[in-house]
Structure 1
Amino acid sequence: MRKQILALTALVALGANAQEYNKWSIDVNGGVNKPTVGFTSGYATKTPNLWTLNGGVRYMFNNKFGLRLAGGYDKIEEGKNSPKFNSNIWNVNLQAVANVGRVLSFEDWTRDLGLLLHSGVGVGQLKGDNFSKADNLGFFTFGLTPQIRLSNRVSLLLDGSVYLYARQNRTFDGNAVTTKRGFQGTNFTGTIGLQVALGRNLVHADWYSQAASDSQLAERVAKAENTVAELAKRLENKEDKMVDTNSNRVPDEVENYINEKYGSLASNQAAPAPAAPATNYSGQSARELIEKGYINVYFDLGSATPQVSSLWAVDFVANYLKQNSGASLNVAGYADQEGSVKFNQKLSARRAEAIKKLLTNRGVSASQLSTEGKGVDKTSNVKSANVRQLARRVTFEVK
């Protein structure tokens, strides 16, 4: 275990975010509509009409662009001082979706607000009490959908859309069209609804921001450099005082420390065990590193599988516990502040259990270990992505 290992671990935790995102989602929405063009003279509609209902399934090719297949229903009734009518429009449509929030880098100033732009084409049927048969429609539609993230999987949608109807042979009130033109009818809709992300990953594409650019990453690494160097120096100083656990021999560079602690020793001779407690200097040093929080295992966002660059910490703890059979540790899991409290509590417990399993697989007695999921690391700064990455960890508490 050397300075380079610590530096690599910290830089991976700060600079790497290899998480994937969910590309599929479903949504259900309800609201009102207001047709403005497409009526016989003397006819008018309510302002607004109840109801407009629609739902769809969306697939994102990446975190900026996707397609949505949807269907909807609009109920249109007569307004004040209008002859009575009752009409309905059913439709299916295919729309292209642009995630304006990611295109414009909303993540630079908010984590929970988004904006979608959508447009597409569809077909529908207009029918009602005054219709002898249904009128088949074609239409073009476009609109904006502000989003509010309620959790990593659920979002609140507020949508405003415009429908421009072509091939319309009947007015919305059921009479024959007398004036032919490109778009015969116009309908405005406003809805509110919920979107649910589908998939195994933690976040949907709508909320996933791309990895930082080279210049941004360089800036982040530069800010972390001092911290990494200090941690590496502190760990190296502690490490230099440890006995080589493979040979139980004292390295040359710790001879002075051992001489001061236990009396004069010849260079590279085995260190005598202290009379009490019945442990060697290596165990005492390892315990000190663990107690002061230098030994941690780090995880990717939403994952209970440790980063490969952190597995040295598992081996370190396993060696300590096997050489000190009377020692016991509490394996404490933490999560960052992404996601709900309930999700993070379960995730932190899963991380602790995963590390306990790795330790027992390395020959550690289960009786030396307990686990605890401590949920969100409340010492981390939710506004700092770097600190949130370092919060996703398992640490060890000497009992």
Structure 2
Amino acid sequence: MKKTITLCMLALSFCAFSQNKSDQYSLEAGYGASIPVGRFSDYSHYEFAFRYMIDESWGIKFDFGSDKFRKDNVPNYGSDYTRFSVQAVNNLARTLNLKNHSDTRFNLLAHAGLGYANIKSMRYPAKDNVGLIMLGITPQVRITDWVAFHLDATYIMNFSQDYDFNGERYSKETDPPSVGKLLNLSAGLTFYLGKNKGDADWR
């Protein structure tokens, strides 16, 4: 019982410290496109994320993204790509001392992490489960204390990918599981939820 009370007190103390120190929670939503695009006439990308900044420089982000690859007038061509990731976030503008204290409307974040994705072929019923690493950069423009506009470019590498993005399965005899690559380009909004609004990004 004493251990339980102690753990609860530590948790409450941590929460109180976090709220006083930063208390920046944010939701991110974005829409854009995915590359490779050469073989596809219809391709789209959307994403949602929850971000918590531990302090003014570092945070963590939980991310969901979905991509669709299609080709007009070609049935059973393409795939749906869905991913989940956990990423570290760095306020790059602050780390590199790029912030101009007379103008706090612009900011720059960097993020990198690991995740899981599945590729659903339009031609075959099975799903391809892959691991991934990702790296991205996010310029921001502050609109209000509660909302910011952002652009994002994220490079993704999938490991042991058995299906191409066109939905075809790689031949095990001639094409071993490969490293698939994607570049997500998107624009969206960041909504700040903490009582200190976007302080960790903009202070």
Q: Please state which band the TM-score falls in when normalised by the shorter chain.
A: 0.7 to 0.9
SS at match of 1:66: strand
Per-residue CA deviations over 1:38-59 (Å, capped at 9, x if unaligned) read xxxxx9223xx43201001011
- Structure 2 CA distance for aligned equivalents of residues 97 and 58 of structure 1: 8
Question: Which residue matches 1:138?
Answer: 131
Structure 1 residue 24 corresponds to structure 2 residue 25: yes
Question: Which residue matches 2:200?
Answer: 205
- Structure 2 CA distance for aligned equivalents of residues 66 and 126 of structure 1: 29
1:193: how far off?
A: 0.6
SS at match of 2:100: helix
More helix by share: 1
Structure 1 residue 102 corresponds to structure 2 residue 98: no
CA distance 1:202–1:77, change in 2 (3 Å)? closer
Letter in 2 for 1:31: G
Structure 1 residue 187 corresponds to structure 2 residue 182: yes
- Structure 2 CA distance for aligned equivalents of residues 180 and 109 of structure 1: 55
Equivalences for residues 1-399 of structure 1 within 5 A = 21-35=22-36, 44-46=39-41, 49-78=42-71, 85-105=77-97, 106-108=99-101, 110-178=103-171, 179-180=175-176, 184-208=179-203
SS at match of 1:101: helix
Point out where structure 2 has 5 or more consecutive residues left out of the alignment.
1-19
Q: Is the 2:76–2:123 contact (alpha carbons within 8 Å) kept by the matching residues of 1?
A: no
- Structure 2 CA distance for aligned equivalents of residues 194 and 94 of structure 1: 19
- Structure 1 CA distance for aligned equivalents of residues 138 and 197 of structure 2: 22
Over the matched positions of the two proteins, sequence identity in percent amounts to: 26
Q: Is the 2:21–2:55 contact (alpha carbons within 8 Å) kept by the matching residues of 1?
A: no
Q: Could you say what the CA RMSD is over the residues aligned between the two structures, in angstroms? A: 2.3
Question: Which residue matches 1:383?
Answer: none
Letter in 1 for 2:93: G
- Structure 2 CA distance for aligned equivalents of residues 110 and 104 of structure 1: 16
Q: Which moved more, 1:135-144 or 1:193-202?
A: 193-202
1:173: how far off?
A: 1.7
Bigger RCO of structures 1 and 2 (CA < 8 A, at least 6 apart): 2
Question: Which residue matches 1:380?
Answer: none
1:110: how far off?
A: 2.7
Q: Which moved more, 1:170-179 or 1:58-67?
A: 170-179
Q: Is the 1:130–1:173 contact (alpha carbons within 8 Å) kept by the matching residues of 2?
A: no
Q: Is the 1:52–1:74 contact (alpha carbons within 8 Å) kept by the matching residues of 2?
A: yes
Letter in 2 for 1:170: Y
Q: Is the 1:78–1:84 contact (alpha carbons within 8 Å) kept by the matching residues of 2?
A: no
Point out where structure 1 has 5 or more consecutive residues left out of the alignment.
1-18, 37-42, 209-399
- Structure 2 CA distance for aligned equivalents of residues 204 and 195 of structure 1: 13
- Structure 2 CA distance for aligned equivalents of residues 21 and 151 of structure 1: 18
- Structure 2 CA distance for aligned equivalents of residues 188 and 114 of structure 1: 22
1:109: how far off?
A: 5.3
Letter in 1 for 2:187: I
Letter in 2 for 1:177: Y
The count of aligned residue pairs is 180
Per-residue CA deviations over 1:168-191 (Å, capped at 9, x if unaligned) read 11111222223226x521111111
Q: Structure 1-normalised TM-score?
A: 0.42
1:84: how far off?
A: 5.8
Letter in 1 for 2:161: Q
